[in-house]
Amino acid sequence: GLMPFGATGNGDYLNWKTDGDPDDWFVVVWDGAETEFREFRGLNMVAFLVEALSGKTDLIPECFRETPNVFKPAEGPQEIER
């Protein structure tokens, strides 16, 4: 079956194909523009996101990838002032 884990602003739905061992699951995208499923065999969620955000797939339009993606980890617990 398919287990959804995300969506894009373009109407695409990101899913895992849940056959067999979870380590073997791969990503399946419901492409809203093309109204079809696209399989990304051999890519787990992290590998798929790296491919998508680096422009190796056409899932995320180039205009959204013009600014470099930067990951900044939190510097520890943040206190909330009340």
List pLDDT tens digits, range 20-52: 998 889 999 998 777 889 898 888 888 888 888
pLDDT of residue 67: 64
Q: How confident is the model at residue 18 (pLDDT cuts 50, 70, 90)?
A: very high
What's the token pair of residue 48?
């798929």
Cβ atoms within 10 Å of 14's Cβ, excluding its own: 20
Q: How confident is the model at residue 58 (pLDDT cuts 50, 70, 90)?
A: confident
Q: How far apart are CA 5 and CA 54, in angstroms?
A: 20
Residue in the block written with tokens 């992290």: 46
Mean pLDDT of the chain: 80
pLDDT of residue 69: 62
Share of the chain above pLDDT 70, in %: 74
Contact partners, residue 27, CB within 8 Å, separation at least 6: 14, 15, 16, 17, 39, 40, 43, 44, 45, 48
